Amino acid sequence: MIPLPRARNIADLRLLAKARLPRMVFDYIDGGAEDEITLARNVDRLREHTLHWSVLKDISSIDTTTTIMGAESALPFFITPTAASRLFHYEGELAVARAATKAKTIYSMSTIGSTSVEDVAAVAPGPKWFQVYVWKDRGLVREGLARAKAAGFTALALTVDVAVAGNRERDPKNRFTIPPKISMTTALDVLSHPTWAYRLATSPRITPANFDGVGGDHPGGIMGFIDSQFDRTVSWKDAGWLVEQWDGPVAIKGVMSASDARECLAIGAGGVWVSNHGGRQLDRVSATIDALPEVVDAVSGRASVIFDGGVRRGTDILTALALGADGVAIGRAYLYGLGAGGEAGVSKALEILSTELRRDMALLGVTRIAEITRGHVSRPR
Ligand SMILES: Cc1cc2nc3c(=O)[nH]c(=O)nc-3n(C[C@H](O)[C@H](O)[C@H](O)COP(=O)(O)O)c2cc1C
């Protein structure tokens, strides 16, 4: 196994994470819904795009700074919200938030993170976004927003592609739970990763920290309480209600069509976030990169367009920017880094992607993000 400093690309970080984490934990990051067709499609379709360079440009100074939904960022890519980061490294969200702060990019935090918004804010003075769901108990939603606002989070992402949980078959097969349970079936997997097991045993229990003190009397415990709070009646009206509750930009995360993008504009969303939850929800939906152009056209500059899904290379970021994304969010790319080596691993993931992006911009013949246009890419049939 290569040491972390010698990892050359995100694929190397993935292999390191695979070696360091119990299989059930690695599979929770790596897997997707059912036959994982959309998971693979996100990656494959990005790669099928063709880039077109211009030669003999002065590329002596490359500038990757940009503004994404009102937030200034040194990079056009940033951290997407993912649940329970302490599963992958004992420092969890704090490790990721510190690495994002050092890279001067946006940290966006899952509502079901394993660290509180206040603790994240204490280590992350830079731009921070909070991801939310519209819970059945709207009072709980309002409380979450008030806490996020007080902690200095500036924007929200409302995730709308989790009407019900996706069918991720690797997890029940591995008997994976949050927090993980050590049983006869999982013991061998866990004990063959002693460093991870030691940290799990000696760190505070992994819980959704923003829910401490609520739902404790639910028969299914805190995770049962959260499951019971998913509201199957949520509609555009409720999304509009959320936008009204927050005095700042709200992105709608999980949009895959022009018609839904127009609904986002109608409720006053500041951002339209093209995502299929990294292929973890409805299998066989299209790759996000194939949905991006119609969303960009429908939005037509009236809101920020954010893209995620399948980004593993600087050229993936270039492709999404060329097709009109204002910002690109990365998920597994940084989670592999987190599993591979905590904060240093996340920093390594960010450094790999930013080094690739800067080199790719030079080779493409552009020096600023705004110079990347549709002419730089052609789409596969
Ligand atoms: C392990 C894991 C947990 C996730 N948890 C959340 C979450 O709590 N909230 C959310 O909106 N999206 C969540 N996502 C989806 C990501 O925000 C993002 O849409 C996806 O990871 C992008 O695809 P990529 O991993 O290929 O970059 C999660 C994704 C992964 C891999």
Give me the pLDDT at residue 185, please: 85
Residue 216 has pLDDT above 80, yes or no: no
The number of C-alpha atoms within 13 Å of 44 and in the hemisphere containing its C-beta is: 8
The whole-chain average pLDDT of the chain stands at 96
User: For 226-237, what is each residue's pLDDT tens digit?
Assistant: 989 999 999 999
Q: Which residue minimizes the CA distance to atom 19 of ligand 1?
A: 277
Give me the pLDDT at residue 65, please: 98
Residue 348 has pLDDT above 80, yes or no: yes
Domain spans of the chain? 4-378
User: For 107-117, what is each residue's pLDDT tens digit?
Assistant: 999 999 999 99
Superfamily for domain range 4-378: Aldolase class I (3.20.20.70)
278 CA → ligand 1 middle, Å:
6
Residue among 359, 347, 378, 381 nearest 104 (CA): 347
Q: Which residue minimizes the CA distance to atom 11 of ligand 1?
A: 159
Residue 222 has pLDDT above 90, yes or no: no
Residue 1 has pLDDT above 90, yes or no: no
What number is the average pLDDT over the span 335-352?
A: 98
Active-site residue 277, yes or no? yes
Active site residue: 49, 89, 193, 277, which one?
277
Percentage of the residues of the chain whose pLDDT score is greater than 70: 100
Q: Where are the alpha helices (DSSP H) in the chain?
A: 10-20, 23-30, 37-48, 92-102, 117-123, 138-151, 170-173, 184-191, 194-202, 221-229, 236-245, 258-266, 288-299, 314-322, 332-364
Q: Which residue minimizes the CA distance to atom 21 of ligand 1?
A: 331
What number is the average pLDDT over the span 93-99?
A: 98
306 CA → ligand 1 middle, Å:
14
What number is the average pLDDT over the span 122-144?
A: 96
Residue 204 has pLDDT above 80, yes or no: yes
CA-to-CA dists, residue 378 to 239, 312, 375, angstroms: 35, 19, 7
278 lines ligand 1 (CB under 6 A): yes
Q: Is 131 helix (H, G, I), strand (E, B) or coil?
A: strand
Amino acid at 64: T
Give me the pLDDT at residue 224, please: 86
